[in-house]
Amino acid sequence: MDAVLLNIVGSVPLVTKLWAIGCVGLSLLTSTYAVDPSKKIYNFDLVFKKGQYGRILYSLFDYGELDWALMFNIYMSINHLTVLENSFNSKRRYCWIVILTLACIIVMSSMEQPASSLGVILHENLVYYQVRRNIEGEHFRMLGFEVSPLMIPLYMNAFMLFVLKRSWLQVAMNFVPGHILCYLDDTINKIYGVDLCKTPYDWWIDRRAGPIR
Protein backbone atom coordinates (compact mmCIF):
# COMPACT_ATOMS: atom_id res chain seq x y z
CA MET A 1 0.00 0.00 0.00
CA ASP A 2 2.83 2.38 0.90
CA ALA A 3 4.51 1.63 -2.42
CA VAL A 4 1.28 2.44 -4.28
CA LEU A 5 0.90 5.77 -2.46
CA LEU A 6 4.52 6.69 -3.11
CA ASN A 7 4.08 5.84 -6.80
CA ILE A 8 0.97 8.04 -7.03
CA VAL A 9 2.64 10.95 -5.26
CA GLY A 10 5.79 10.55 -7.31
CA SER A 11 3.87 10.73 -10.59
CA VAL A 12 2.30 14.10 -9.72
CA PRO A 13 4.20 17.02 -11.31
CA LEU A 14 5.76 19.70 -9.11
CA VAL A 15 3.29 22.59 -9.38
CA THR A 16 0.24 20.36 -8.90
CA LYS A 17 1.95 18.59 -5.99
CA LEU A 18 2.72 21.89 -4.23
CA TRP A 19 -0.87 23.04 -4.72
CA ALA A 20 -2.26 19.81 -3.22
CA ILE A 21 0.08 20.04 -0.23
CA GLY A 22 -0.99 23.66 0.26
CA CYS A 23 -4.68 22.72 0.24
CA VAL A 24 -4.22 19.98 2.83
CA GLY A 25 -1.91 22.16 4.91
CA LEU A 26 -4.34 25.09 4.98
CA SER A 27 -7.20 22.81 5.99
CA LEU A 28 -5.09 21.47 8.86
CA LEU A 29 -4.16 24.96 9.99
CA THR A 30 -7.72 26.28 9.89
CA SER A 31 -9.20 23.17 11.53
CA THR A 32 -6.84 23.66 14.47
CA TYR A 33 -7.39 27.44 14.39
CA ALA A 34 -3.69 28.07 13.86
CA VAL A 35 -5.03 30.23 11.03
CA ASP A 36 -8.29 32.13 11.45
CA PRO A 37 -10.81 30.40 9.09
CA SER A 38 -12.34 33.78 8.24
CA LYS A 39 -9.08 34.77 6.54
CA LYS A 40 -9.78 32.21 3.78
CA ILE A 41 -12.66 34.36 2.54
CA TYR A 42 -11.58 36.37 -0.48
CA ASN A 43 -13.10 39.78 -1.05
CA PHE A 44 -11.78 42.29 -3.58
CA ASP A 45 -12.33 45.32 -1.35
CA LEU A 46 -10.71 43.72 1.69
CA VAL A 47 -7.66 42.76 -0.38
CA PHE A 48 -7.07 45.84 -2.50
CA LYS A 49 -8.63 48.57 -0.36
CA LYS A 50 -7.78 47.25 3.10
CA GLY A 51 -4.44 45.72 2.12
CA GLN A 52 -5.30 42.18 3.29
CA TYR A 53 -3.33 40.50 0.50
CA GLY A 54 -2.91 37.25 2.42
CA ARG A 55 -6.53 36.46 1.59
CA ILE A 56 -5.51 35.79 -2.03
CA LEU A 57 -3.01 33.11 -0.94
CA TYR A 58 -5.41 31.54 1.57
CA SER A 59 -8.27 31.52 -0.92
CA LEU A 60 -6.07 29.85 -3.55
CA PHE A 61 -5.61 26.85 -1.25
CA ASP A 62 -9.12 26.87 0.20
CA TYR A 63 -10.86 23.66 -0.84
CA GLY A 64 -13.02 23.27 2.23
CA GLU A 65 -12.86 21.64 5.64
CA LEU A 66 -10.52 18.73 6.33
CA ASP A 67 -12.65 15.64 5.69
CA TRP A 68 -13.06 12.80 3.21
CA ALA A 69 -14.89 15.04 0.76
CA LEU A 70 -11.88 17.37 0.69
CA MET A 71 -9.50 14.48 0.01
CA PHE A 72 -11.71 13.19 -2.81
CA ASN A 73 -11.98 16.64 -4.40
CA ILE A 74 -8.23 17.14 -4.20
CA TYR A 75 -7.64 13.69 -5.70
CA MET A 76 -9.92 14.47 -8.67
CA SER A 77 -8.31 17.88 -9.10
CA ILE A 78 -4.84 16.33 -9.07
CA ASN A 79 -5.86 14.04 -11.94
CA HIS A 80 -7.07 16.98 -14.05
CA LEU A 81 -4.18 19.30 -13.26
CA THR A 82 -1.55 16.59 -13.75
CA VAL A 83 -2.70 16.04 -17.33
CA LEU A 84 -2.69 19.79 -18.00
CA GLU A 85 0.70 20.45 -16.40
CA ASN A 86 2.32 17.52 -18.23
CA SER A 87 1.02 18.89 -21.54
CA PHE A 88 3.36 21.89 -21.19
CA ASN A 89 6.99 21.57 -22.23
CA SER A 90 7.96 24.36 -19.84
CA LYS A 91 6.98 24.68 -16.17
CA ARG A 92 7.63 28.39 -16.53
CA ARG A 93 4.99 28.76 -19.21
CA TYR A 94 2.48 26.67 -17.28
CA CYS A 95 2.95 28.85 -14.19
CA TRP A 96 2.54 31.98 -16.32
CA ILE A 97 -0.75 30.67 -17.77
CA VAL A 98 -1.96 29.99 -14.22
CA ILE A 99 -0.96 33.51 -13.12
CA LEU A 100 -2.70 35.14 -16.11
CA THR A 101 -5.85 33.09 -15.48
CA LEU A 102 -5.85 34.09 -11.82
CA ALA A 103 -5.37 37.74 -12.79
CA CYS A 104 -8.45 37.57 -15.05
CA ILE A 105 -10.48 36.05 -12.20
CA ILE A 106 -9.38 38.80 -9.81
CA VAL A 107 -10.31 41.50 -12.33
CA MET A 108 -13.79 39.97 -12.69
CA SER A 109 -14.08 39.72 -8.90
CA SER A 110 -13.81 43.51 -8.69
CA MET A 111 -17.33 43.63 -10.17
CA GLU A 112 -18.93 40.88 -8.05
CA GLN A 113 -18.04 38.64 -5.14
CA PRO A 114 -17.02 35.14 -6.37
CA ALA A 115 -19.36 32.26 -5.55
CA SER A 116 -16.48 30.11 -4.26
CA SER A 117 -12.80 30.34 -3.38
CA LEU A 118 -10.17 31.52 -5.86
CA GLY A 119 -8.64 28.03 -5.83
CA VAL A 120 -11.88 26.35 -6.87
CA ILE A 121 -12.58 28.92 -9.59
CA LEU A 122 -8.99 28.70 -10.87
CA HIS A 123 -9.29 24.92 -11.07
CA GLU A 124 -12.55 25.18 -13.03
CA ASN A 125 -10.90 27.54 -15.52
CA LEU A 126 -7.83 25.34 -15.94
CA VAL A 127 -10.04 22.30 -16.59
CA TYR A 128 -12.00 24.33 -19.16
CA TYR A 129 -8.70 25.47 -20.70
CA GLN A 130 -7.53 21.85 -20.96
CA VAL A 131 -10.81 20.62 -22.47
CA ARG A 132 -10.99 23.52 -24.90
CA ARG A 133 -7.43 23.00 -26.10
CA ASN A 134 -8.01 19.29 -26.76
CA ILE A 135 -11.62 19.50 -27.90
CA GLU A 136 -11.00 17.81 -31.26
CA GLY A 137 -9.37 14.69 -29.82
CA GLU A 138 -11.45 14.04 -26.71
CA HIS A 139 -15.06 12.83 -26.96
CA PHE A 140 -16.89 10.17 -25.02
CA ARG A 141 -19.94 8.08 -25.78
CA MET A 142 -23.17 8.39 -23.81
CA LEU A 143 -26.31 6.43 -24.72
CA GLY A 144 -24.78 5.67 -28.11
CA PHE A 145 -23.99 9.30 -28.96
CA GLU A 146 -20.67 11.11 -29.26
CA VAL A 147 -20.64 13.76 -26.52
CA SER A 148 -18.27 16.71 -26.31
CA PRO A 149 -16.42 17.06 -22.98
CA LEU A 150 -17.54 20.70 -23.00
CA MET A 151 -20.98 19.42 -22.02
CA ILE A 152 -19.74 18.77 -18.48
CA PRO A 153 -18.74 22.39 -17.65
CA LEU A 154 -21.82 23.56 -19.56
CA TYR A 155 -24.04 21.41 -17.34
CA MET A 156 -22.29 22.57 -14.15
CA ASN A 157 -22.56 26.23 -15.11
CA ALA A 158 -26.22 25.84 -16.06
CA PHE A 159 -26.82 24.20 -12.67
CA MET A 160 -25.18 27.17 -10.92
CA LEU A 161 -27.18 29.65 -12.95
CA PHE A 162 -30.68 28.15 -12.89
CA VAL A 163 -30.70 25.97 -9.76
CA LEU A 164 -28.33 27.72 -7.37
CA LYS A 165 -29.43 31.11 -8.75
CA ARG A 166 -25.92 32.51 -9.13
CA SER A 167 -25.46 35.66 -11.20
CA TRP A 168 -24.25 35.62 -14.80
CA LEU A 169 -20.94 37.13 -13.72
CA GLN A 170 -20.37 34.55 -10.97
CA VAL A 171 -20.99 31.76 -13.49
CA ALA A 172 -18.79 33.46 -16.10
CA MET A 173 -15.86 33.48 -13.67
CA ASN A 174 -15.75 29.68 -13.99
CA PHE A 175 -14.87 29.63 -17.68
CA VAL A 176 -14.36 33.07 -19.28
CA PRO A 177 -10.74 33.53 -18.04
CA GLY A 178 -9.88 30.01 -19.24
CA HIS A 179 -11.53 30.69 -22.60
CA ILE A 180 -9.61 33.94 -23.04
CA LEU A 181 -6.27 32.32 -22.20
CA CYS A 182 -6.95 29.36 -24.49
CA TYR A 183 -7.81 31.74 -27.33
CA LEU A 184 -4.66 33.82 -26.80
CA ASP A 185 -2.34 30.87 -26.20
CA ASP A 186 -3.63 28.43 -28.78
CA THR A 187 -5.84 30.04 -31.45
CA ILE A 188 -3.99 33.34 -31.96
CA ASN A 189 -0.65 31.55 -31.89
CA LYS A 190 -1.71 29.04 -34.55
CA ILE A 191 -3.45 31.50 -36.86
CA TYR A 192 -1.16 34.53 -36.65
CA GLY A 193 2.03 33.05 -35.24
CA VAL A 194 2.02 35.58 -32.39
CA ASP A 195 2.70 34.26 -28.91
CA LEU A 196 0.75 36.60 -26.62
CA CYS A 197 1.22 34.30 -23.60
CA LYS A 198 5.00 34.27 -23.68
CA THR A 199 6.46 34.63 -20.19
CA PRO A 200 8.25 37.89 -19.24
CA TYR A 201 11.49 35.91 -18.96
CA ASP A 202 11.12 34.58 -22.52
CA TRP A 203 10.34 38.08 -23.80
CA TRP A 204 13.51 39.30 -22.10
CA ILE A 205 15.61 36.46 -23.54
CA ASP A 206 14.28 37.11 -27.07
CA ARG A 207 14.95 40.81 -26.72
CA ARG A 208 18.53 40.20 -25.60
CA ALA A 209 19.09 37.76 -28.46
CA GLY A 210 17.92 40.38 -30.95
CA PRO A 211 16.90 39.70 -34.58
CA ILE A 212 18.46 36.73 -36.34
CA ARG A 213 20.65 37.83 -39.22
In percent, the amount of the chain with pLDDT more than 90 equals 65
CB 111 within 8 A of CB 44: no
Say whether pLDDT at 7 is over 50.
no
pLDDT of residue 103: 97
CB 82 within 8 A of CB 123: no
Instruction: Give dist(CA 82, CA 12) in Å, integer.
Output: 6
pLDDT digits (tens, 9 = 90+) for 39-52: 999 999 999 999 99
